[in-house]
Structure formats: structure tokens, C-alpha cells
């Protein structure tokens, strides 16, 4: 969608952590940007001073709704859910509300606002794939059947998924999740491939488990990050047209692309990288 003329909800509701012209420390949630004019348009749009963070915010039906009030309510709630220290309930809500139509916005939010936390070790999400089955309108044959609640962690043969809510309504069913393909601790090694991620997470649980309660969950990101995000085809083979393998359901960060283009990435993993990559954020 195109940004609604005279709205400006995002210029007030959201916090911006990066420096902006006249605001070296960014701005707080609810604070009106000084570059928002009286008629709610941006006075520096199209100039060299226009902040990258604003250019990267893509309008969407989910975020903008159809009125200023709807957009403001959505953005205010988003701010609350992603505020530092917010418990993982925000992640459950994110996964419960998933729809395939809003997949881009879902992954943007997941990858910029949440981290995987395993017994105190924090992993950033760098490569994810969408696996979603809906018996009516999204019969993706490559999705494992499961009975899960939103946000559940599901270890399976090939890796680890974070699950959507399994739903049944008569003959109509839907289920699925997000496959974790690559993760990295801050400044740490990039762990590539679903099986390697699963092993890393299991090792982390084993190393720190003992008598402790295992804590494995998505947390609101302690530092609001704005990584560059891209999407491309999934790595699964296109066994049937129904498998959606060619849909842009693989979501990756710019940091991940830089890593696998560098000398430290294995040739095998580099070979899985697709050429058709679209910038998302
Ligand atoms: S909330 Fe959406 S419609 Fe409103 S100013 Fe921001 S991008 Fe535009
Ligand atoms: S710089 Fe412009 S687009 Fe960005 S928050 Fe301020 S008024 Fe909105």
C-alpha cells in the first residue's frame, strides 16, 4: 500500500533509536517528530536528511489500517510488546496472529524485535523459513503436521521450528511454523543450517541444564535493531507445485548474506544460497 496522505501516525507513535536530524538520540514512543508538519506530512522527505529508518518503514495494511487511529493503536501496541524487558508473551501473540498475507510484516517484526534466549544465552535470528499449511488456501505439502500452541518450540528430524497456533474448524485445519536456519550470538560464530542450529541449541540446554529450569523462549530484543532484511526462495526442493518452494519464504539478514559470501562460510552452505534475493527492509 501507499503511505496515507496526512496520517503521520508512525512519526509519533514509534520510538526511533538511531540519530535523526535535530534529534541525535532519536525519539521516544509518543513523541512527535519535529519534522512532521502541521498537516501531518514530512518536511524532509526526499531530501538528503531523510532518515534511513523512515525510508525503511514500509506501509502495510496490517500496520497502517484504514485510519490514523487504527495505525496509532497498532503501533502503540507494537511498541509495548517490543519494549526492552517485555516478557515473551509478545512473541506468543505474534505467532498466534500470523496470516500468510502478512508474512513480510511478521518476519520483519520477528527478526528485528525478538531474539532467541536459551538459558540466558541470546541468539539473533539471521535466516528463517516459513512453513505454513492451510487445508483450504495454502496446502503446502512440505509442512510437518503438528498439534501446537502459538510460540511453542518444536524439535523435529531436520531442525527446530517456532510454531503457529494449530487450528481446527470442521474439516479446515492450519498449522506450521518458522524453521530456524541460521543464528548467531552477538559477535559470535554464525551457525548455519537447521541441523547445526538444533545441535547448538540442544548443546546449550545440556551445558546449562542440570538442576535448573530450562528457559527456551523468544524475548523482546534487548537492543532495538534495524538489520537489513531480504527474502528469497526456500531451500527445499520443488517436489510438487503445491510445495510453495519457489515462493519467497526464506527470510535473511544482510549480515547473513555478508557472512556466507565471505571466506568463513562452508562451500556447501554457500551453494544453497539463491541468486534471486529481494530487499524487504
Ligand atoms: S502509519 Fe502508515 S499510513 Fe500512516 S504515516 Fe505511517 S506509513 Fe503512512
Ligand atoms: S523524519 Fe519525516 S518520516 Fe521520519 S519520523 Fe520524522 S516526519 Fe516522520
Statement: residue 210 has pLDDT above 60: no
Burial 160-187 (b: 16+ CB within 10 A, else e): bbbbbbbeeeeeeebbbbbbbbbbbbee
Residues 233 and 95 in one domain: yes
Residues 95 and 144 in one domain: yes
Is the pTM for the entire model greater than 0.85? no
Residues 150 and 271 in one domain: yes
Q: Provide the 10 A C-beta neighbour count for residue 213.
A: 6
Residues 57 and 103 in one domain: no
What's the mean pLDDT in 2-7? 90
d(CA 208, CA 212): 8
Q: Is the CB of 33 under 6 A from ligand 2?
A: yes
d(CA 218, CA 173): 25
Rg (CA), the chain: 20
Quick one: pLDDT at residue 274? 63
Residues 46 and 90 in one domain: no
The overall average pLDDT reported for the chain is: 80
Task: Report which protein residue has its CA nearest ligand 2's atom 8.
Answer: 11
Structural domain containing residue 50:
1-83
> Closest ligand to 53 CA?
2
Answer with the one of 56, 83, 110 that is the final residue of a domain: 83
Average the pLDDT over each of 45-49, 52-56, 215-219, 232-236 and give the range with the smallest value.
215-219
Task: Report which protein residue has its CA nearest ligand 2's atom 2.
Answer: 42
Residues 141 and 30 in one domain: no
Q: Which atom of ligand 2 is nearest to the CA of 34?
A: 6
Burial class (CB in 10 A: 0-12, 13-18, 19+), 48: exposed
Task: Report which protein residue has its CA nearest ligand 2's atom 5.
Answer: 11
Q: What is the grid cell recorded at 61?
A: 495494511
Residues 76 and 92 in one domain: no
Residues 147 and 90 in one domain: yes
Residues 90 and 58 in one domain: no
Statement: residue 10 has pLDDT above 60: yes
> Closest ligand to 29 CA?
2
Ligand 1 site residues (CB inside 6 A) read 3-4, 7-10, 59, 63-64, 71
pLDDT-derived band at 217 (thresholds 50, 70, 90) equals low
The more confidently predicted of residues 163 and 216 is 163
Q: Is the CB of 27 under 6 A from ligand 2?
A: no
Statement: residue 49 has pLDDT above 80: yes
Residues 93 and 76 in one domain: no
Q: Provide the 10 A C-beta neighbour count for residue 44.
A: 18
The Å distance, Cα 35 to ligand 1 centre, comes to 15
Number of domains in the chain: 2
Residues 168 and 219 in one domain: yes
Q: Is the CB of 54 under 6 A from ligand 2?
A: yes
Answer with the one of 83, 118, 142 that is the final residue of a domain: 83
Answer with the one of 47, 67, 83 that is the final residue of a domain: 83
d(CA 107, CA 100): 11
Residues 102 and 213 in one domain: yes
Amino acid at each position: 500500500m501507499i503511505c496515507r496522505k496526512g496520517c503521520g501516525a508512525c512519526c509519533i507513535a514509534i520510538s526511533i533509536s538511531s540519530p535523526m536530524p535535530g534529534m541525535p538520540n532519536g525519539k521516544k514512543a509518543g513523541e512527535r517528530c519535529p519534522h512532521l508538519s502541521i498537516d501531518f506530512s514530512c518536511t524532509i522527505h526526499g531530501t538528503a536528511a531523510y532518515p534511513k529508518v523512515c525510508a525503511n518503514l514500509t506501509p502495510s495494511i496490517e500496520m497502517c489500517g484504514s485510519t490514523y487511529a487504527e495505525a496509532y493503536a497498532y503501533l502503540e501496541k507494537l511498541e509495548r510488546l517490543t519494549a526492552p524487558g517485555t516478557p515473551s508473551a509478545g512473541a506468543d501473540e505474534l505467532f498466534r496472529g500470523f496470516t500468510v498475507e502478512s508474512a513480510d510484516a511478521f518476519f520483519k517484526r520477528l527478526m528485528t524485535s525478538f531474539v532467541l534466549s536459551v538459558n540466558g544465552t541470546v541468539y539473533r535470528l539471521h535466516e528463517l523459513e516459513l512453513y505454513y499449511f492451510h487445508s483450504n488456501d495454502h496446502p503446502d505439502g512440505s509442512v510437518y503436521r503438528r498439534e501446537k500452541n502459538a510460540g511453542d518450540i518444536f524439535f523435529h528430524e531436520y531442525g527446530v521450528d517456532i510454531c503457529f497456533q494449530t487450528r481446527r474448524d470442521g474439516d479446515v485445519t492450519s498449522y506450521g511454523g518458522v524453521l530456524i536456519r541460521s543464528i548467531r550470538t552477538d559477535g559470535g560464530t554464525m551457525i548455519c543450517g537447521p541441523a547445526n542450529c538444533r545441535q547448538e541449541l540442544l548443546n546449550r540446554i545440556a551445558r546449562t541444564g542440570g538442576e535448573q529450569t530450562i528457559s527456551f523462549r523468544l524475548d523482546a530484543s534487548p537492543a532495538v535493531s534495524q538489520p537489513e532484511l531480504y527474502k528469497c526462495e526456500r531451500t527445499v526442493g520443488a517436489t510438487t507445485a503445491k510445495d510453495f518452494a519457489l515462493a519467497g519464504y526464506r527470510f535473511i539478514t544482510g549480515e547473513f548474506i555478508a557472512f556466507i559470501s565471505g571466506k568463513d562460510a562452508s562451500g556447501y552452505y554457500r551453494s544453497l544460497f539463491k541468486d534471486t534475493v529481494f530487499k524487504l527492509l
